[in-house]
A and B are shown apart, each in its own frame.
Chain A
Amino acid sequence: MERKRLMMMFVFGILVAGFGLAGEGLVSAKDLQIAVMVPNGVDPYFTAKRYGYEKECEKLGAKMLFYDAGGYANVNKQIGQVEDVLQRGIDGIIFGATSTDGTVPVIDKVIDKKIPLVIDNLDSATKKPVLRIMKNGILVGQLRAVYIVDRLKGSGKVLLLPGPSAVTLCQEEYQGFITYAKHFPGIKVITEWTASSPDAGMKTVEGILQANPDLKAIATFSPPLTVGACKAVQASGAKPGDILVVGQMLDAGIDDYMRKGWVSATVMCDHIEMAREAVRMVVRQIKGELKPPQLVLIDHYLVDRDTLDKFEKSGSSYPKEWRR
């Protein structure tokens, strides 16, 4: 037993030291502290944006604290995280909601505490005045629909993978797609809500392809889903372009799939630039130069094989060697 008690003391000693040092390191950080809170950090979309947040914070001499709720389901956890941030005291928050409505109460709290806040893309439906920088989900959905309807000459079966059904952004994009596509009776839309993961995407598309051999096009919500879809299409023995795959963003090697022709087009937005802008906005609010409410809607544009190398990438890509 003696041995064991000693070992415990040792372990805890180390812990004490560890905690102590960590604490020191933080307390001494004098510069602005900005909390970036995202719903699902492993989504390539957020990874990319993280690059933007980080670089811009460095540029403006602020310290970024990155909080990931670890999935859209963890509303309770994210609310807890916000509470924690309020607790430790923070100069500004950039917030992407796990749940549009579920986070309202806590976000209201933030606003009431007069803490500069920018809601970045994943909306929290607070009625109070707040800064927002948003994608236009409806537009994203419509752009895909336009492209597909056009390429299919107005008739054919289309599979829509809008992503996790509980995410409002997905619902918007879904609406955008449907509302446009429904004007073309020739277009039959099959919708499959899935988790935003490659294996889910692959499994679903494989199955759907069996049930609908005449499938003409697939529209996907996120790079992981796009990859899954492509893999399934490849496995089905189709040639590049037989089935249109229209995705979103170029992360996770989508550009490569496009060059090879598996992905026909993808809806872009300068998400990294968006992240940088979000940081600038929150800092300006801290400085008092910017007053809520304000809504910044960012642009969306569609890139296909031909235009792949002809558009300005700086706002939507990060150097390959960047890892954290």
Chain B
Amino acid sequence: MKRKKGLASFNWSRHGTPLAFGLMIIVFALINPAFLSVRNLSQTLRQGAILFLIVSGQGLAILTRGIDLSQGSVMSLVSVATISSIYILGTYWGSLVGVLFGGLCGFINGVLIGYLRIPPILATLGMLFIALGAELVYTGGVTLTNLTDVDQIRLFWFGGGMLGPVPVPVVFAVFTGLILYFVLRCTMFGRHLYFMGANPDAARMVGVKANRVLVIVYTLSGLLAALGAFFLTARLSMGFPHLGEAWLVLSIGGAVLGGISILGGEGGIWEAILGTLVIVFLDNGLIVSGVSSFAREAIIGCIIILACMASVIRRRS
């Protein structure tokens, strides 16, 4: 969404992070050529696809000056809900229901934020606990497995399967990405969303129905997180009650790192993609180049800061 932003931010998304990203790729490739092997790229992109869905959901929320802290728990909830509804409804309907659970959580967030006017960070904080708790109470923490072979094969295809040379989740992520790109760029809703982020009061004065936009935004955020969770669950073909634990930080990190302004109104899908790629390739690259799992975290931290620094310096000049 370069156009959506002033020249300053043009640099920011255009040069800063990609710069760091490019450097990163080169370094890893030099350390271990296996990093660029087709299989590694495709499996990393597979992870990337899942993260992208979540990040773009987070991105939508952030664009409207909000944030969605509940994504992690929603993912756990969906993971469990999907498997247990597959027990009853079979793969396809089961999966659908599972994902809809995520949408439901998002919808509730939306209502809390849009109609009851609870600040996003709080509403979603509440949902964080509720979704997690609900799901744990339901399963008692039991990991859900033992699907029928048929279900397992069908389900696994979504997470682990290939469409030609490309992993299924990637295809789907690209598809979703395109839709979101169009929606944000060339639809009333997309524009209203940016208005909300840029100046809520003015948005109202040009006829934006704030509460509706917010409900849609958070429902989408929930749905996208749910989709991510679904693909991950499918890949593991198990319902894991703590699936989402690690993902919230990643989704916020990805969105902000990519250059979606935490103050709202600036950024878009392009940024979400960037942030996602940096994170997954960084993680994978470090493993492939055999960095100790402890040093890894520290390095990830440094890179995050460096990537961001590069962009800031660019922005200055």
- Mask of A233-254 contacts with B, CB within 8 angstroms, 1/0: 0111100000000000001110
Q: Which of B139-147, B179-187, B214-222 makes up part of the contact surface?
A: B139-147
A309 adjacent to chain B (CB < 8 Å) = no
B314 adjacent to chain A (CB < 8 Å) = no
Q: Which residue of B lies closest to A324 (CB)?
A: B140
Contact between A235 and B34, CB atoms less than 8 A apart: no
B242 adjacent to chain A (CB < 8 Å) = yes
CB within 8 Å for A223 and B143 given contacts A203-B47, A213-B34, A252-B238: yes
- Give the docked Cα–Cα distance between A252 and B236 (Å): 11
- Give the docked Cα–Cα distance between A42 and B245 (Å): 12
- Give the docked Cα–Cα distance between A256 and B147 (Å): 10
Contact between A211 and B283, CB atoms less than 8 A apart: no
A198 adjacent to chain B (CB < 8 Å) = yes
CB within 8 Å for A211 and B238 given contacts A203-B284, A253-B145: no
Contact between A207 and B140, CB atoms less than 8 A apart: no
Contact between A47 and B142, CB atoms less than 8 A apart: yes
Whole-angstrom distance from the CB of A272 to the nearest CB of chain B?
13
Q: Which residue of B lies closest to A206 (CB)?
A: B43
B241 adjacent to chain A (CB < 8 Å) = yes
Count of chain A residues with Cβ under 8 Å from any Cβ of B? 42
B243 adjacent to chain A (CB < 8 Å) = yes
B317 adjacent to chain A (CB < 8 Å) = no
Contact between A256 and B146, CB atoms less than 8 A apart: yes
Contact between A256 and B145, CB atoms less than 8 A apart: yes
Whole-angstrom distance from the CB of B243 to the nearest CB of chain A?
7
Q: Which residue of A lies closest to B135 (CB)?
A: A42
B290 adjacent to chain A (CB < 8 Å) = yes
Chain A residue numbers with a CB within 8 Å of B246 are 195, 197, 199-200
Contact between B136 and A42, CB atoms less than 8 A apart: yes
Contact between A211 and B34, CB atoms less than 8 A apart: yes
Q: Which of A22-30, A113-121, A140-148, A224-232 makes up part of the contact surface?
A: A224-232
Chain A residue numbers with a CB within 8 Å of B34 are 210-211, 213
Contact between B238 and A227, CB atoms less than 8 A apart: yes
A285 adjacent to chain B (CB < 8 Å) = no
Whole-angstrom distance from the CB of B11 to the nearest CB of chain A?
33
CB within 8 Å for A192 and B293 given contacts A207-B284, A320-B146: yes
Choose among A202, A208, A210, A251 the residue that contacts B35 (Cβ–Cβ < 8 A): A210
A72 adjacent to chain B (CB < 8 Å) = no
CB within 8 Å for A210 and B39 given contacts A234-B160, A252-B238, A253-B145: yes
A261 adjacent to chain B (CB < 8 Å) = no
Chain B residue numbers with a CB within 8 Å of A192 are 287, 293
Residue from the set B43, B160, B245 with the largest chain A CB neighbour count within 10 Å: B43
B240 adjacent to chain A (CB < 8 Å) = yes
Interface members, chain B 136-168 (any A CB < 8 Å): 136, 138-143, 145-146, 160
Whole-angstrom distance from the CB of B146 to the nearest CB of chain A?
5
Q: Which residue of A lies closest to B40 (CB)?
A: A210
Chain A residue numbers with a CB within 8 Å of B176 are none
Chain B residue numbers with a CB within 8 Å of A154 are none
Contact between B293 and A194, CB atoms less than 8 A apart: yes
CB within 8 Å for A198 and B240 given contacts A42-B136, A46-B141: yes
- Mask of A93-123 contacts with B, CB within 8 angstroms, 1/0: 0000000000000000000000000000000
Q: Which residue of B lies closest to A193 (CB)?
A: B293
A276 adjacent to chain B (CB < 8 Å) = no
- Give the docked Cα–Cα distance between A224 and B293 (Å): 18
Residue from the set B138, B141, B146 with the largest chain A CB neighbour count within 10 Å: B141
Whole-angstrom distance from the CB of B132 to the nearest CB of chain A?
9
Contact between B236 and A210, CB atoms less than 8 A apart: no
Contact between A323 and B142, CB atoms less than 8 A apart: yes
CB within 8 Å for A224 and B43 given contacts A204-B287, A207-B287, A253-B146: no
Question: Nearest 7 CB-CB pairs, A to B?
Answer: A207-B287, A253-B145, A324-B140, A42-B141, A252-B143, A210-B40, A42-B241
- Name 13 A/B residue pairs within 8 A (Cβ), A-sorted: A47-B142, A197-B242, A200-B246, A208-B287, A210-B37, A210-B40, A210-B288, A211-B287, A227-B145, A227-B238, A228-B236, A231-B237, A251-B143
List B residues at the A interface (Cβ < 8 Å): 32, 34-35, 37, 39-40, 43-44, 47, 136, 138-143, 145-146, 160, 232, 235-238, 240-243, 245-246, 283-284, 287-290, 293-294
